[in-house]
Structure 1
Amino acid sequence: MDSSTTANSFLKPPILDGMNYALWKTMMRYTIKSMDVRAWKIILTGWTPPKMLDQEGEYILKPEATWTVEETQSSSYNVKAINAIFSSVDMRIFGHIADCTVAKDAWKTLQEHCEETDSVRRTRLRFLNTKFENLRMDENETIADYDKRLKEIATEAFALGGSISSENMVNKVLRSLPRRFNGKIWALEKVKDT
């Protein structure tokens, strides 16, 4: 595997299944930006297919074959963004955006479908805080695996507008260590203090 293949594998967001929207949204934002910042700008500002006046003075869609270089370029940013969105949702979620031709519309539809109202978001943040506080390290779990579970909760909280500080994360790890580790840490601290 060459280095370009390895580098690109880190850009792939998880498949949106409706339950992981906060994580998906955060990763997708940077995935699209890494493809082309102008594609992300299309999601923010939108894109309108080029139009022209017909013989009756009405605006109609301009045939693609007659688009200018600028119109074609703008369209390509929209296509990059919408392709990234389409290819990162499961089939059930895809049904909600299948008829979208503008990346901003697909993004907004997913946001409305998957992101909750403020009151629901606050409830989810309270739930995540409770989940964080109640999370315990399993006897056979490594510290790295436990830390990964904590970071998943912190990432989801961040995506919902909350935060769990690094200090709280470290304290949580130290408080949650099974007795087999606590004794060793206590012994190390005692040696360090002398």
Structure 2
Amino acid sequence: MEPDTQTSFSHLPPPVFDGQNYQAWAIRMTVHLEALDLWEAVEEDYDVTPLPANPTAKACLFSAVTSTIFTIIMNISSAKDIWDYLKKEYEGNERTKNMQVLNLIREFEMMKMKDSETIKDYSDKLLAIANKVKLLGKDFSDERIIQKILVTLPEKYESKISSLEESKDLSDISLAELLNAFSSKSKEDL
């Protein structure tokens, strides 16, 4: 017997929204609803005939929020109205987003690598901030992250940076290449 190579997306639980990080949840939920062929019901505000094995868009939205948020939206009649409410309530206006971006950039600029921290852990923190900025609709280049890493590495990495400068053009290096170079250099030092 051949193994079942197709898995049903409807068995995957929807991403749960807890009132934080609306932008990331909205992207994940949109994809979830699209995969279930329910996004049009949210976008165009029409009722989907409930099928036993195919949840409606409204049911998906109800199951994708915490109980606290569910009690707020439980009396909203359509999937589109629920979506619009969540968007209005949690996405924030342009001014709020700009303030969030400024705070994230400030956090990025103030961040320094700790002596006890690995380059991977440090770069993960920087990438997390950059991704939050991108979710808020602003550009944040890998080049900026690369420069931040190279400029803020502790002194113990100076020789690694120098040998990297000799072997590669650092103005043209990708973030993955940089992290791989430091990863391989760390293994060589062991």
Answering whether residue 185 of structure 2 is matched by residue 186 of structure 1, we say no
Q: Identity, % of aligned pairs?
A: 33
Q: How many residues align?
A: 163
Answering whether residue 122 of structure 2 is matched by residue 121 of structure 1, we say no
Partner of 1:139: 115
Partner of 1:44: 43
Calculate the aligned-residue CA RMSD, in Å: 3.1
2:124 is aligned with what amino acid?
A: K
Answering whether residue 129 of structure 2 is matched by residue 153 of structure 1, we say yes
| Shift in alpha-carbon separation, 1:27–1:179, aligned structure 2, 3 A | farther
1:91 aligns with one of 60, 64, 67: 67
CA contact (8 A) 1:15 1:24 kept: yes
| Shift in alpha-carbon separation, 1:133–1:46, aligned structure 2, 3 A | same
**TM superposition shift of 1:104:** 1.0
Q: Which has the higher contact order (CA 8 A, sep 6+)?
A: 1
Answering whether residue 30 of structure 2 is matched by residue 29 of structure 1, we say yes
Q: Which structure has the larger Rg over C-alpha atoms?
A: 1
- Comparing 102-111 with 175-184, greater Cα deviation is found at 175-184
Please report the TM-score for the alignment, with normalisation by the length of structure 2.
0.69
**TM superposition shift of 1:46:** 0.8
| Shift in alpha-carbon separation, 1:191–1:169, aligned structure 2, 3 A | closer
CA contact (8 A) 2:14 2:63 kept: no
Aligned to 1:18, the other structure's residue is in SS state coil
Partner of 1:67: none
CA contact (8 A) 1:29 1:40 kept: yes
| Shift in alpha-carbon separation, 1:167–1:188, aligned structure 2, 3 A | closer
Question: Distance between the aligned counterparts of 1:18 and 1:132, measured in 2?
Answer: 24
Please report the TM-score for the alignment, with normalisation by the length of structure 1.
0.68
Aligned to 1:163, the other structure's residue is in SS state coil
Give unpaired runs (5+ residues) of structure 2.
Answer: 170-190
